[in-house]
Amino acid sequence: MKTSYLTRIREQNPLIHNITNLVSANFSANGLLAIGASPMMADCSLEVAELAQVSQALVLNLGVTSPESIEAMLRAGKAANAMNVPVVLDPIAAGVTQHRIHIIQQLLTEIQMSAIRGNAGEMAYLAGVAWQSKGVDAGSGSANLADIVKKVAQKYNCVAILSGEHDFLADPTGKVWRLSNGTPLFPKVTASGCLLSAVVGAFLAVAEKENALTACVEACATYAVAGELAAQDLLPTQYGSFMIRFLDALAAISPEDVLARRVLVEDKGN
């Protein structure tokens, strides 16, 4: 599996429309700028459908669950589907409250997602697999992570991405990839997962629809390898330094860097 979409992002500067939460907005916008995309952070329901005409991807982040924001997500998602614009869902704290359960069911019923990216607890909920979640954290469980991501991909007919110590990615055909790059500093930076979802949107924005899984694998590999490079020589407590160095690494990373360092295998359930 070769990399190519990072170069396309930097050449095409795709506009990525994000409906996200106040904690992640700044970091996500800066991260998108770093990789060469153009961020748009807009959640007014009166304009989001129109934005689908000029955006190359839409990222919906469930860190915000007000009625106004959900209405904006529904309008934006339906408009994006009509325009064949890829839609990424970040199901933050899925299943934690009845309100979120209702919202996620509504979004997944009314909008066709191109990709869903979440942690183990969030993806286990979507897969209908028992898991002990802890708010927005991944929580714990004994289920097979490759099976979880495969179930989500097939249930919602999209690419599914389960982020963690290892990233698992699957598409509706049942093929699963396991990526073993990254750094323990990622969970110490608020909204690092939210930014990954936005980066996935940027890669899908420049990819052919039939190559969605390949683009998502490259997105996650680019992100994880940039994290490794940023974490070099840092102490485990240097969260702030890592955050800044990570943005710098995203801006500087090359496709060759990703190919040289990524640890990627097809997970066949063995």
Which residues does residue 38 pair with via DSSP β-bridges, in sequence order?
Answer: 15
Number of structural domains (the chain) is 1
Would you state the pLDDT for residue 138? 43
Residue 199 contacts residue 222 (beta carbons within 8 Å): yes
Q: Is the pTM of this model over 0.75?
A: yes
Would you state the pLDDT for residue 7? 97
Residue 32 contacts residue 16 (beta carbons within 8 Å): yes
Would you state the pLDDT for residue 269? 66
Interatomic CA distance for residues 154 and 160, integer angstroms: 9
Describe the strand order of the beta sheet including 167-170 as a list of residue ranges: 38-41, 15-19, 57-61, 87-90, 115-118, 159-162, 167-170, 176-179, 264-266
Would you state the pLDDT for residue 26? 96
CATH number, residue 19 = 3.40.1190.20
Would you state the pLDDT for residue 136? 44
Residue in 230, 228, 182, 251 with CA at minimum distance from that of residue 30: 251
Low-confidence ranges of the chain (pLDDT < 50): 134-140
Domain span at 220: 5-266
Would you state the pLDDT for residue 137? 43
